[in-house]
Structure 1
């Protein structure tokens, strides 16, 4: 669910698969069926035009590799959020292996790579990894807690196609309850820095039963005030450390849809809901270099194989597809 805003031109990736032309949006993570003829690769398009094209679940596109992936090259983080998707028991590969994986992704047919974590801004070589991916034709986003964004925004601005900043509340009291004292102030400063440097910026917030009803509209108002391009509300996934909170904090997909229904037409910025169903089958490359995929319904995640070559990204009937 989204709402149109003043159009801007930014970078997307496009590719033709059989008779289908698809476009990946690095800001929202969505895939659209293109309404016009496009060359394959990185393209500059109006975000309003792309948003008007029909969304398509990547599993509905007949491809041999995922349309997009989430790459978490590290588990280290300066915060300790109890609903984190990461499994801190996963080991981290060394720097040369991170570069190897970046090159493999760049060589693949993947349209979009979201670099996550852990906290990806802790990686000194993050700009180098982004450069490799962009040179290969990928659209690249970075998902961050925002606390290191002030010092890294300038270097990212000439490289990354979008930044997604995680907030758990529209003010310090609610956000810092989950992420620690002072984290809200630093994240807001990071969002301001990213916007000031011209980076397309999305706020992401996990819907938690204890806070969602009082937070969803203030979050969209905050995004508008900061100049962010929109808000993505994420259904909590019972994966990683967050599994311990699932029984108490999960909303059903129907509850989340009903909660955000009014915002689809009245919010000051574009609003999107990512349901658990929509996250099913999504491909994740974790810090150990293993290819993982969300199970249908995103109730769990399964490790498939080490990423040693492009063929290890291949989708199979056993794996699911996204």
Structure 2
């Protein structure tokens, strides 16, 4: 759900999206926001450049409503290692990581699957030395590609990423060092902000992502103000999901969807687009883990469906038993 629109200078620029056809309907996948939008008429498969305002004008659609077997997009977490230790992390740090050669095979399988978009996440994906090679495989197949990062390594890697990715999503848990570093460690706020500035300086469309928690919710208005000052293209507010290491904090930190909508709604007109991703929005989302296993969010986003190995494109296809998108 998008709450507001940004000023013209942030919406008129052209940027890359993934396009294709699902269930006889043309769709556009926006790597900046992770949203799927309905284009109506069938669309050719591949990456295309569209004006941001034209993308935003297309109606949002949940991929599960398209009646297609293949997901529109996937999240690939090729690494569980991270230079930070966030207590609300979605990752299961016990998952083994594949070696370099096996990781390349996973990239090739995702690239050949026909998905329109891939968000490369983690762990911290910027710790992967061969990340540029993996991104080249994905982009070369026509996927719109984003990278989700804690931002701390962006200053040194933004230049290389600018030639390879269509968007960067940087995680922030507060509008200042005190509130952000509480969750992610001393000095992490300053490094993340430096990373955001580097990404923008290299022309990468950049989004701030923040996990909505009871503890951090009061800082949301100031975070939106910070996003405006930094010049990012938007803020996505993510509802807390009880996965991975963060499952133990769910009872204390989860915000009901109704309260989350209110918190975002009372922001009113904002200088950058603010989007709330509810737990319903995350239902059925497909994830490729660091060990090459595929899982999918359950319909209520409170659990994951059974694992299966990524042996080929059919492994990503939505099975009826998944009850997902």
What's the TM-score, normalizing by structure 1? Answer: 0.97
Give the Cα–Cα distance (whole angstroms) in 1 for the partners of residues 18 and 27 of structure 2: 8
Do the aligned residues in 2 keep the contact of 1:4 with 1:48 (CA within 8 Å)? no
The correspondence of residues 237-248 of structure 1 with structure 2, limited to 5 A, is: 237-248=241-252
Alignment correspondent of 2:228: 224
Give the Cα–Cα distance (whole angstroms) in 2 for the partners of residues 46 and 4 of structure 1: 14
Equivalent of 1:136 in 119, 141, 151: 141
Do the aligned residues in 1 keep the contact of 2:69 with 2:318 (CA within 8 Å)? yes
Give the Cα–Cα distance (whole angstroms) in 2 for the partners of residues 260 and 161 of structure 1: 26
Give the Cα–Cα distance (whole angstroms) in 1 for the partners of residues 306 and 289 of structure 2: 9
CA RMSD of aligned residues (A): 1.1
Give the Cα–Cα distance (whole angstroms) in 1 for the partners of residues 253 and 71 of structure 2: 30
The correspondence of residues 160-175 of structure 1 with structure 2, limited to 5 A, is: 160-175=165-180
List alignment gaps of at least 5 residues for structure 2.
none
- How many residue pairs align between the two structures? 320
Give the Cα–Cα distance (whole angstroms) in 2 for the partners of residues 222 and 36 of structure 1: 38
How far did residue 18 of structure 1 move?
4.1
Do the aligned residues in 1 keep the contact of 2:79 with 2:290 (CA within 8 Å)? yes
Do the aligned residues in 2 keep the contact of 1:13 with 1:138 (CA within 8 Å)? yes
How far did residue 64 of structure 1 move?
1.5
Do the aligned residues in 2 keep the contact of 1:15 with 1:40 (CA within 8 Å)? yes
Give the Cα–Cα distance (whole angstroms) in 1 for the partners of residues 13 and 105 of structure 2: 34
Give the Cα–Cα distance (whole angstroms) in 2 for the partners of residues 270 and 35 of structure 1: 24
Equivalent of 1:80 in 73, 76, 85: 85
Give the Cα–Cα distance (whole angstroms) in 2 for the partners of residues 235 and 170 of structure 1: 18
Give the Cα–Cα distance (whole angstroms) in 1 for the partners of residues 305 and 319 of structure 2: 14
Do the aligned residues in 2 keep the contact of 1:14 with 1:41 (CA within 8 Å)? yes
How far did residue 102 of structure 1 move?
0.5
How far did residue 179 of structure 1 move?
0.3
- Map Cα deviations across residues 279-304 of structure 1 (whole Å, 9 max, x no partner): 01110011111001111111112342
Give the Cα–Cα distance (whole angstroms) in 1 for the partners of residues 65 and 315 of structure 2: 20
Equivalent of 2:158 in 143, 146, 153: 153
List alignment gaps of at least 5 residues for structure 1.
none
Do the aligned residues in 2 keep the contact of 1:67 with 1:112 (CA within 8 Å)? yes
What's the TM-score, normalizing by structure 2? Answer: 0.96
Alignment correspondent of 1:294: 297
Alignment correspondent of 1:271: 274
Alignment correspondent of 1:280: 283
Alignment correspondent of 1:102: 107
Do the aligned residues in 2 keep the contact of 1:58 with 1:321 (CA within 8 Å)? no
Do the aligned residues in 1 keep the contact of 2:297 with 2:303 (CA within 8 Å)? yes
